[in-house]
Structure 1
Amino acid sequence: MFEPSLPLAERMRPYSLEQFTGQAHLVGENGVLRRVISSGIVPSMIFWGPPGVGKTTLANIIAAQVKMPFQMLSAVSTGVKDVREVIERAKQTGKRTILFIDEIHHFNKSQQDALLAAVEKGQITLIGATTENPSFEVNAALLSRCQVYVLEALTEENLLELLRQAIAQDKWLQQFTIHLKETDKLLLLSGGDARKLLNLFELVVEMSDVGSTVEITDELVQHVAQTQTARYDKVGEQHYDIASAFIKSLRGSDPNAAVYWLARMLEGGENLKFIARRMLIMASEDIGNANPTAMILANNCFQAVAAVGYPEAEIILSQTAVYLACSAKSNASYMAIKTARQLVRQTGDLPVPLHLRNAPTNLMKQQGYGKNYEYSHNYENHFSVQQYLPDAISYKKLYEPANNPRENEMRMQLRKLWNDKYGY
């Protein structure tokens, strides 16, 4: 009985463009990458696309076709030292080397900057792979030296073709008689990721005895999938479920749950900036003026994560998550803007009161623009009672302070200034 030493996805990795499935706009008969390879002159480039669509495979094919030395690094587990070692070897050999960096968005600015000189001097040809928009995740200097190629999600037909190829070509699978009776669940659970599709398919087949007939059904696939350890999919449904659980734990003031879901995201290789960005939004939406310092800390966290990078950034993320979870909560500002926008949609373009209008010309002044406006700083306590809303909604209250120490102080201040006008 033949026992494979590699997962099916690795055994089925194509080694030429003729074997490659999908991305016809890049590698088809008139595809730009096919023309690049044919020319033998490979520029530095960034592959941007979802997981499992062929970014790593294309880099390997390019290196093999143009017969250039090939080095592969993962930005999740390597740093500047590793990059410099590759560059130094390229210098010593005098051979231009293709350096493939998977998940390059995990490199911070200083790590990306370490590549610049070698790319400019032609010592290395950089091929970066990312699931994130390179406009935001790759610094401008490096991005300007690279061609960006967008890889599309694999179609249902692409994925089915991969299954058919595996059944026909893989030595281990040939020990079974396999019928693809139903494939909807395979396609759904793979989320368009060829690697996940093939490896899940292999797990399903492993449930059967060698030499037996295997009938692939949705029920069988679901059963096998449920017995496997849950994995974190950065672009699939679980990505959004875990991110949602994280934010709801912060909102619910449970630091233990928040740190757990944070760990799940980190273990799954989630983009650090995505996590920090979500906390920054949460600090305003769910804490707001109950503790304005929360937003300052969250913003500093976002900047620090970008500067420090993985793995040290996890400490900063954890500190911020715990602080946000333990903070007083208020969504009063969030509700205020939602209510205000709804009011705008209902009432339309109400005119600005004349005394609030700008009057840069004599004609506007003659029309009454700015007339009777009271400059607040000219009055006691820097306040004068005058109308700021349009006439039709002049008494409308949009901000309702929440019941917490800070916003209770704000309520008292508003009540003192406006008396009963807004009902504070």
Structure 2
Amino acid sequence: MASKHRNSGNALIVVVVCLAIIIGAIVIVGSMAKSRPAPETRPVSQAAMLVDAIAAEEAAGPFRIEAQGTVRPVTQTRLAAEVGGRLVEISDRFVAGGFFEAGDVLARIDPSDYEAALLQAEAELASAMARLADETARSEQARRDWIRMNGESRQPSELVLRLPQVAEAEAAVQAAEAGVMRARRNLERTEIRLPYDGLVRSRDVDLGQYVAPGTALGVTFSVATAEVRLPLSNQDLAYLDLPSPGRSGDWQPPVRLRGEVAGQRGEWEGRIIRTEGVVDENTRLSYAVVEISDPYGLRSTRRQVPLQIGTFVEAEIEGRDATGLIVLPRQALRQDDRLYLIDAEGKLEIRSVEVIRSTPDRVYLQNSIKPGDPVIMTAIQAPIPGLAVRMRDSAESVEPELRVLPAGELAAAPEEDES
């Protein structure tokens, strides 16, 4: 019994000693932590985001409205034979692409039958005129005979004076004159001519071929002027001063045309001469017509690149004055008509703007920013107002030049500090 009490006393002493050791250790560690110097604190610096930016510019001059169209001739003629016969002559210029002047004979139909018809008509006219002269003389003789026999107190009848015969002879003369005119016109129609300078688009007949009245001979067009139909939306029309339909004295906006002909880029000047005055029901577009003088440069204009019929061109129309507005590249405008700007402290500013006109290339703003304000062009994934930004310098955009080190230098090259 005594031994049991002695063992329990020893265990209690061990527990007390362990607790004393633990408490002492805690006290020692706490005193050491208090005596340790506080760690040095450094201010946290935020790295500025590197962005591309441009200075806002003020627009100068008019709006530029862009459209597209195809060049087509103002005057195009589908030639057809007006008289029948065999083709006995075809001009060297009557070929596809051939240039001709007004009045040139492009082709000739055998005129012999029509020359004979003209001679016959002239003979009939001479006969009719002789008969008229005979009837007129007989009428005058009948008048004199009546006066000699009856005096001047009584008027003779028309039958006595042979007036119906005279009228019939006059009608025969008129009919003969019409026959001569018809025969002469048919003879003239054996020569295929046009009243304008032009080019031949196609020829459908050949020498020796017989053609009947109405036979297609070819297609030609005038080179004096060409035109382009430009489709315009309601938004485009709001920034243009176009001629009113049916009025030719209105302002005719200048147009610059650009296109490619035979691998060469060309530019041509034109003017909008009219609007068609209707809205297409399917596309809801209106059309303005641009006229270009001497597109091939064959008359008076010297052209480095001729504007060929059928060329697809891009048009830039001079619109209303845009002076005072801010113009920026289209990609500078963000969603919901906002811009990313750099403020005076180098922070990101998100500003809503008033868009006057937007095109695929440019955007025009009013009462939003001032000329010279830095506009960020870089796309920012998570734009937060107040974010530190830094404009990219031109030197930073140049990639460093890579240099290949020799084997010896490669071994001696210093290692980078991984810290």
Tell me which of the two structures has the higher relative contact order, counting C-alpha pairs closer than 8 angstroms and 6 or more residues apart.
Answer: 2
Higher helix share: 1
Higher strand share: 2
Q: Give the TM-score, by structure 2 length.
A: 0.19
Which protein is bigger by CA-based radius of gyration? 2
Q: Give the TM-score, by structure 1 length.
A: 0.19
